[in-house]
Amino acid sequence: MTARFTGTLSLILLAVLLVAINVLAGLSLRSTRLDLTASNLYTLTEGSKKIASSPPEPITITFYNSQKASRGRPQVENIARRISDLLDEFARASNGKIKIRTIDPEAFSEEEDQAVQNGLVGIPAGGETIYLGIVATNTIGGKETIPLFDINNERFLEYDVARLIQSLSMTKKPVISILSSVNMDGGFAMDPQTGRPMQRRPWGIMRELKALYDVRTLSGDSIGIPPETSTLLVVHPKKLSPKNQFAIDQWVLGGGRTIVFVDPIFEQDEAQPAAQGQTPDRSSNLENLFNAWGVQFSTASIVADADLGIRINAGQQGQRGQQVIFPPWITVDKRGLVATDPATGKVNTVNFATAGFLTKKPAEKPKEGETATVPTPKDEMVFTPIIQSTTNSQLLNPTALIAITDPASIIANFQPSGNQYAIAARISGTLNTAFPNGDPAAAETNTTGPTPPPKTDTLKKSTKEASVLIVADVDVLTDRMWTREQSIGGISLGSQKLGDNVDFLTTCLDINAGSGDLLGVRARGDFFRPFTRVEAIQRDAERQFRAEQDRLKQKLSETEAKIAEIQKKNPNATDKDGFIVLTKEQEAEIVKFREEQVETRKQLRNVQFNLRRDVESLGTWVKVINVGAVPVAVMLIALVWGAARALSRRANAG
């Protein structure tokens, strides 16, 4: 047997062995998964596994995936494959409680008719329609759908499926009671400008809440909070009646879970026109309750953050639009979301607009002759910030902010305080009542006689562990801060999420309702990772650009003032046509200014050039590392392996 024949036979046997190993691995290791991604993006969280095994009745999930129509479209094919794998993971974790069906709804087929009847939304593409949604049913008539998966937000896939399964598994939804001075449900309302009725859409966050909870809206000057309420949601409590404040106070002291949204400026508040020379009041506060509970919140300050600021178009009329950082509108990311809190630890971004800040009220000093008492730890109110600004932030006056005409001036004049400000905080422990004299309704019915003694059935302190979450912004709940409607050819494709605002709220509601399964599901990593280094380069260059621009304006003002001063010396220096005749001194000043203007513009161009150069240089290095690192690593391994074999052969030969 020759060496050539032996080598050929060995190659054939290796090829057969390779195919056999692949076939056996495909059959025997089908359920084996190895997730090597950061944050285990392709592994079900513990919350999802619990939800998958929780249905009391079997669930059938039908995945409508237009495989043929989506061929040649990598983005759709990749997301469809990811959805299919995810559904298989849920079925595997359910121990047989979840069954998966996959249907390709081809054009003009019965399957397409079924998809349309079930409310699925198709994407027109080259004369065909692509469906990418699911319909889930149980054996007792329950039905939930995802009309169309958002192909641009892959990190929300697991949450969407888990929420759908949990909705079918729940026999009774938690009750959420909402008390608000704004109409969040939509419907007809009076236009404050025209005085005519107009149709208003419900807030998107209300649609999300109603899909998960039994939402009840409270209204009137004397509300009654349903005892079955799992969370009381107070939104923009503007000029809330004492009776309603008393109801909230007693609910909290009795251990009722509460979330409060207040705001120094609620930008979408349709406040009544103020008197001439005054701005409408768009603020909300629960000052009486907050003071009693040990919390300070002022409507006189707004948190601005240069690191978290959102970019907006700030071009003035007639000028080319510019994008500038607007510090009063912020996207709070991992730098401001407290990682140790279950409500924010795995949320990625939350968007705010003109938010205020919260602090713990300092302990009152004892009066002269009194002895200070040190409260025991269980009696002390615990103030826990869960969303904060960075240290590159400052406080702005709301009135001054409204008067600003150039948004770019805020970042140009920005002066960081070096402090972090709590935009959202949780208070717990033992709280004191804001109504030591009892129900204010009793005082209203007895306006002539002496003040009646407080009722014995009113609470003066917390009888159970208090739990109140306070958020110093209401705009965070509005549609523009977290979602954007998408459409193709006039056909609505649903909405695209811009931030995790709704996830933050529903996570807090889940915590209050005692359901923690969805908490881990929202704790998914992000499939998109921003270039933070590039953003830092752009931010630094933009500051330099603004500084140079301000210097140019300052030079212009100084030169104009000097020219005006010179003209005052010769006010009658005009020609026969009435035009002012410039002196040599004036002409010299103008020439000097123009030279400075040209030089400054050159410096501005250099700043922009350096910005592009730094970003392009960084991009080049990233490409070199990504493209060249693997081949170089393989080459080095091959060289080391070859050298090792050569040394081994020499050693054996010797």
CATH for 158: 3.40.30.10
Residue 229 pLDDT greater than 90, yes or no: yes
Identity of the amino acid at 543: R
Q: For a pLDDT cut of 90, what percent of the chain falls above it?
A: 39
Only one residue has tokens 């001439």, namely 276
Whether 372 is covered by a domain: the verdict is: no
Predicted local distance difference test score (pLDDT) of residue 570: 57
Mean pLDDT confidence for 362-382: 59
Mean pLDDT confidence for 166-174: 82
Nearest to 223 by CA among 237, 209, 202: 237
Write out pLDDT tens, residues 335-353.
999 987 878 876 889 999 9
Let me know whether 163 and 47 are in one domain. Answer: yes
Number of Cβ atoms within 10 Å of the Cβ of 361 = 15
Whether 24 is covered by a domain: the verdict is: no
299 falls in which pLDDT band (50, 70, 90)? very high
Let me know whether 358 and 471 are in one domain. Answer: yes
Q: What is the mean pLDDT of the chain?
A: 80
CA distances from 86 to 32, 61, 397, 514, 518 (A): 14, 12, 49, 26, 16
Let me know whether 133 and 63 are in one domain. Answer: yes
Whether 411 is covered by a domain: the verdict is: no
Predicted local distance difference test score (pLDDT) of residue 470: 98
Nearest to 468 by CA among 287, 300, 253, 174: 253
Whether 509 is covered by a domain: the verdict is: yes
More confident position, 10 or 212: 212
Let me know whether 258 and 384 are in one domain. Answer: yes
Predicted local distance difference test score (pLDDT) of residue 232: 97
Query: What's the distance, CA 50 to chain centroid?
Result: 26
Q: For a pLDDT cut of 70, what percent of the chain falls above it?
A: 69
Let me know whether 503 and 556 are in one domain. Answer: no
The torsion angle over the Cα atoms of residues 136, 138, 140 and 144, rounded to 10 degrees, is -20
| Structure letter (DSSP) for residue 79 | H
Let me know whether 130 and 73 are in one domain. Answer: yes
Cβ distance 82 to 154 under 8 Å?
A: yes
Query: What's the CATH code of the domain at 195?
Result: 3.40.50
Let me know whether 109 and 179 are in one domain. Answer: no
Which H helix or E strand runs over 46?
Answer: helix 46-52
Mean pLDDT confidence for 417-434: 96
Containing structural domain, residue 85: 38-168
Residue 525 pLDDT greater than 60, yes or no: no
Predicted local distance difference test score (pLDDT) of residue 141: 87
Structurally, the chain folds into a number of domains equal to 3
Mean pLDDT confidence for 561-569: 61
Phi and psi dihedrals of 566, rounded to 5?
A: -70, -40
Nearest to 335 by CA among 284, 392, 291, 288: 392
Let me know whether 119 and 186 are in one domain. Answer: no
Whether 594 is covered by a domain: the verdict is: yes
Nearest to 527 by CA among 497, 557, 547, 564: 497
Number of Cβ atoms within 10 Å of the Cβ of 504 = 25
More confident position, 178 or 491: 178
Write out pLDDT tens, residues 90-112.
999 999 999 999 999 998 899 99
Residue 328 pLDDT greater than 80, yes or no: yes
Quote the CA–CA distance of 503 and 522 in Å, as a whole number.
Answer: 7
Whether 408 is covered by a domain: the verdict is: no
More confident position, 33 or 68: 68
Whether 527 is covered by a domain: the verdict is: no
Out of 168, 189, 210, pick the residue that ends a domain. Answer: 168
Nearest to 84 by CA among 68, 102, 98, 71: 102
Whether 580 is covered by a domain: the verdict is: yes
Predicted local distance difference test score (pLDDT) of residue 527: 47
Residue 240 pLDDT greater than 90, yes or no: yes
Only one residue has tokens 């939104």, namely 235
Let me know whether 193 and 230 are in one domain. Answer: yes
Predicted local distance difference test score (pLDDT) of residue 374: 42
Let me know whether 122 and 51 are in one domain. Answer: yes
Quote the CA–CA distance of 566 and 193 in Å, as a whole number.
Answer: 50
Predicted local distance difference test score (pLDDT) of residue 523: 45
Number of Cβ atoms within 10 Å of the Cβ of 570 = 14
Mean pLDDT confidence for 421-449: 83
Out of 138, 168, 198, pick the residue that ends a domain. Answer: 168
Mean pLDDT confidence for 548-569: 64
Token pair in block for residue 368: 């002269």
Nearest to 111 by CA among 50, 53, 69, 74: 69
Let me know whether 160 and 50 are in one domain. Answer: yes
HSE at residue 547, side-chain half, CA atoms within 13 A, is: 9
Let me know whether 358 and 507 are in one domain. Answer: yes
SS3 of 249-264: the string is HHHHHCCCCEEEECEC
Token pair in block for residue 562: 């000097």
Mean pLDDT confidence for 513-532: 56
Query: What's the distance, CA 124 to chain centroid?
Result: 30
Predicted local distance difference test score (pLDDT) of residue 376: 40
Out of 149, 168, 187, pick the residue that ends a domain. Answer: 168
193 falls in which pLDDT band (50, 70, 90)? low
pTM, rounded to two decimals: 0.60
More confident position, 534 or 621: 621
Predicted local distance difference test score (pLDDT) of residue 405: 78
- Sequence-ordered strand ranges (E) for 472-547: 483-488, 491-497
Dihedral sign computed on CA atoms, order 115, 117, 119, 123: positive
Predicted local distance difference test score (pLDDT) of residue 322: 72
